Chain A
Amino acid sequence: MTRFLRSRLLDLVIGVLGVSTAVFFLLRLTGDPVALLVTETATREEMERIREAMGLNAPLWEQYVSFLARALRGDFGESIRLAKPAAALVWDTLPATLELTTAALGIATLLALPLGMLAAVYRGTAMETAASVLTLAGQSMPFFWLGILLILVFAVELRWLPSFGRGTWWHLVLPAVTLSASTMAKTARLVRAGMIEILSQEYIRTARAKGLGERRVILEHALWNTAIPVVTILALDFGVLLGGAVVTETIFAWPGTGRLMIQAIQGRDFPVVQAAVFILAVLFIVVNAALDLLYVWLDPRIRHR
């Protein structure tokens, strides 16, 4: 168990280092950072002074080390457009993004479990066809188009739900449903496949043979054993959702980190882009590491590998 934990921890550290390296070069590849800071009338001497002040004349590896040191302390410099620390802007918007992704993850799970189970249990019936059509559609639906359609129907035509901004629970519905579609489809497919495989196992036959009701066989014996692949895909999809949030937040004017990042890219505000990419990627790494521990709890066999 300690070996397992230690190797996971090492992965975590290497992951964070890798991400910071990538983010460092992200800035250095975009050209001269000073040119972004000064007005067009700046003289060569002024630019040189800023360059010296920012430490841009030091050797690259020195800059890299100092960047790393600052990044690990959460310091990414000032935003170029808004006079605020870049990291603070990201931290301010992160709760909104987490609210959106968590809601989407919840919706996806709540819909995918029954959908996948029904498709597996009622194999070869209209129920399975309906479920598979729904999942295929969910998988092929470009989510930003789904978002627009939901706005058209529920905000513009029916006027049931607000189409932009954040505030009440009602504001959360359309963006979260939009974001959940592809994860829901993928998870439902997986639940179905896992269920079908498990229902043909011997211990299920044993459970039935000892006279357990079908409901208990499925809910207690089969469902629990589909948990690992389902948790895996949901964990991986947390990253997909974080990425998807970038687009979804833009559609619904949701004040999260994704929208902040797109605005920063459009305004060439690179400290903010760096901070957003770094914090989202590290968040994803940490969530994955936490999930590795969850597996151990779900399936004690992993501990002994």
Chain B
Amino acid sequence: MSGSIRASVIARLRRTPPSRWLALGVLALVVLAAATASLIAPHPPLRQIIAQRLQPPGTRSAVRAADGAVGTAAGAASAVHAFGTDQLGRDILSRILHGGRISLLVALAAVLLSGTMGTLFGLVAGYAGGLTDRVVMRVAEVQLAFPFILLVVSIVAVLGPGTRNVVLALGISGWVAYAKLVRAQVLTLRELPFVEAARAVGAGAGRIMFRQILPNTLSPVVVLASFSVAQMIILESALSFLGLGVQPPTPTWGGMLADSRGYLATAWWLATFPGAVLMATVLAINILGDWLRDLLDPTMRI
């Protein structure tokens, strides 16, 4: 990197609004907390203490910390239920930490699946043109005729609930946006001189598609993918909320919100904390998506 480029990058980072740094911090925190959930969760997420059901935030735990942990930070944290307990006496903070794992992993896997599918279909359709293009785009049109959540719910209805099926349903539902985006770009790119040049020196279709064209379509795909991580997190939670997603007793944010509905009049904390974490995560990803778009492809309209 030459000196002047480095200077301009630094100047650009300085101009970045603080909300974006905050979003980066929040997301880093959520990812870190989810990754280390089994180490930092103050209580086992599935342990039920019926005697301590529906305790408000800050209640002292009936279960004493393991002897080795007494006097340590972990011991102090496990002495209370910072976010309270749910209807089965399970620690809400610990369940949120573990639930984050599921939310993030499912969303990432779904985005990876839909992004790969969509990019491949868009690339082939755009480059091959003709019948291939028409068939792929027709399938895309039909899929778009289904409202998105309806499609996801229908696929889950066929496959049945469960983590793997949720990833499949979200992944299959999401490919069209990528395909349309990539195809539109391929149509322009394939006419450009550098592709012509590659063809002239004898490069085959596969080589041209993957080595020449694909790298040039990736920036908007990355931007779209970053926004859809946020969308997939919401959808995964919605499915779990409906009881069609990851199944209990595995803790999920959506599942916790579904449980909370029976106790709104008596225990507000059941709904408040998982929802707040869910929203903070999605908000952070959306803000970072804006940032990524400004950096990679400022002309893009998402």
Contact between chains at B141 and A250 (CB < 8 Å)? no
A104 to chain B, nearest CB (A): 13
Give the chain B neighbours of A273 by CB distance below 8 A.
154, 157
- Bound Cα distance from A290 to B80, whole angstroms: 58
Establish whether residues B147 and A243, one from each chain, have CB atoms under 8 Å apart when the complex forms.
yes
In the assembled complex, the CB of A196 is this many whole angstroms from the nearest CB of chain B, namely 13
Interface string of A277-303 (1 = CB under 8 A from B): 100110011000000000000000000
- Are A281 and B147 CB-contacts (below 8 A) given A142-B237, A149-B275, A265-B153? yes
Would you call B261 and A251 a contact (CB within 8 A)?
yes
| CB atoms of A136 and B286 under 8 A apart | yes
A246 is an interface residue with CB less than 8 A from chain B: yes
A239 at the binding interface (Cβ < 8 Å): yes
A37 at the interface (CB under 8 A from B): no
Pair B154/A277 contact, Cβ less than 8 Å: yes
List chain B residues, Cβ under 8 A from A151.
264
Residues of A within 8 A of B287 (CB): 136
Q: Which 6 A-B pairs have the closest CB atoms?
A: A243-B149, A18-B142, A145-B275, A243-B147, A239-B147, A140-B283
Interface residues in chain B, defined as those with a beta carbon under 8 Å from any beta carbon in chain A: 138-139, 141-142, 145-151, 153-154, 156-158, 230, 234, 237-238, 241-244, 254, 257, 260-261, 264-265, 268, 271-272, 275, 278-279, 282-283, 286-287, 301
On whether the beta carbons of A284 and B147 are closer than 8 Å, the reply is yes
Q: Is residue A261 within 8 Å, beta carbon to beta carbon, of the partner chain? A: yes
Please state if B271 and A148 are interface contacts (CB–CB under 8 Å): yes
Least CB distance, A23 to chain B, in whole angstroms: 8
* Known A-B contacts A22-B146, A152-B264; A266 and B158 likewise in contact (beta carbons under 8 Å): no
Q: Return chain B residues, CB-CB under 8 Å to A15.
A: 141-142, 145
- Return the contact of A144 from the options B145, B257, B282 (Cβ within 8 A): B257
Indicate if the CB atoms of A247 and B150 lie closer than 8 Å: no
Q: In the complex, what residue of chain A is closest to B276 when comparing beta carbons?
A: A145
Main secondary structure of the interface of A (DSSP, over half): helix
What are the residues of chain A within 8 A of B260 when measuring CB–CB? 148
Contacts of A240 in B (CB 8 A): 147-149
Whole-angstrom CA separation of A290 from B97 in the bound complex: 47
Question: Which B residues are CB-close (under 8 A) to A140?
Answer: 230, 279, 282-283, 286
Extra inter-chain contacts (7) besides given A18-B141, A239-B148, A243-B149, CB under 8 Å? A155-B264, A156-B264, A156-B268, A240-B147, A243-B150, A273-B154, A281-B146
B100, chain A: closest CB distance, angstroms: 14
Expressed in whole angstroms, the minimum distance between the Cβ of A287 and any Cβ of chain B is 11
Q: Which of A144, A145, A251 has the most CB of B within 10 A?
A: A145
User: Which residues of B are found within 8 Å of A250, using beta-carbon distances?
Assistant: 241-242
A223 to B141 Cα, complex, angstroms: 31
**Bound complex: CA of A141 vs CA of B282, how far in Å?**
8
Interfacial residues, chain A to chain B (CB-CB below 8 A): 11, 14-15, 18-19, 21-22, 26, 29-30, 136-137, 139-142, 144-145, 148-149, 151-152, 155-156, 163, 193, 239-244, 246-247, 250-251, 261-262, 265-266, 270, 273, 277, 280-281, 284-285
B230, B234, B244, most chain A CB atoms within 10 A: B234
- Identify which of B149, B282, B301 contacts A142 (C-beta below 8 A): B282
**Residues of chain B contacted by A22 (CB below 8 angstroms):** 142, 146
CA of A277 to CA of B156, assembled, Å: 13
B237 touching A19, Cβ below 8 Å: no
Can you list 26 pairs linking A and B with CB atoms under 8 Å apart? A14-B138, A15-B141, A18-B138, A18-B139, A30-B157, A140-B230, A140-B283, A141-B279, A142-B237, A144-B238, A144-B257, A145-B275, A148-B260, A151-B264, A239-B148, A240-B148, A242-B150, A246-B153, A247-B238, A250-B242, A262-B153, A265-B156, A270-B157, A280-B147, A281-B146, A284-B146
Q: Are B257 and A148 in contact (CB-based, < 8 A)?
A: yes
The chain B residue sitting closest to A190, CB to CB, is B301
**Alpha-carbon separation in the docked complex, A247 to B149 (Å):** 9
Of chain A, the residue at the smallest CB distance from B301 is: A193
What distance in Å separates the Cβ of A71 from its nearest Cβ neighbour in chain B? 15
What CA separation (Å) do A144 and B279 show in the bound complex?
11
Whole-angstrom distance between the alpha carbons of A282 and B99 in the complex? 36
Whether the Cβ atoms of B149 and A145 lie closer than 8 Å is: no
CB-CB under 8 A for A152 and B271, given A242-B150, A265-B153: yes
Kindly provide the distance from the CB of B296 to the nearest chain A CB, expressed in whole angstroms: 19
Q: How far is the CB of B118 from chain A (nearest CB, A)?
A: 18
Neighbour of A145 across the interface among B146, B268, B278, B301, CB < 8 A: B278
Contacts of B265 in A (CB 8 A): 156
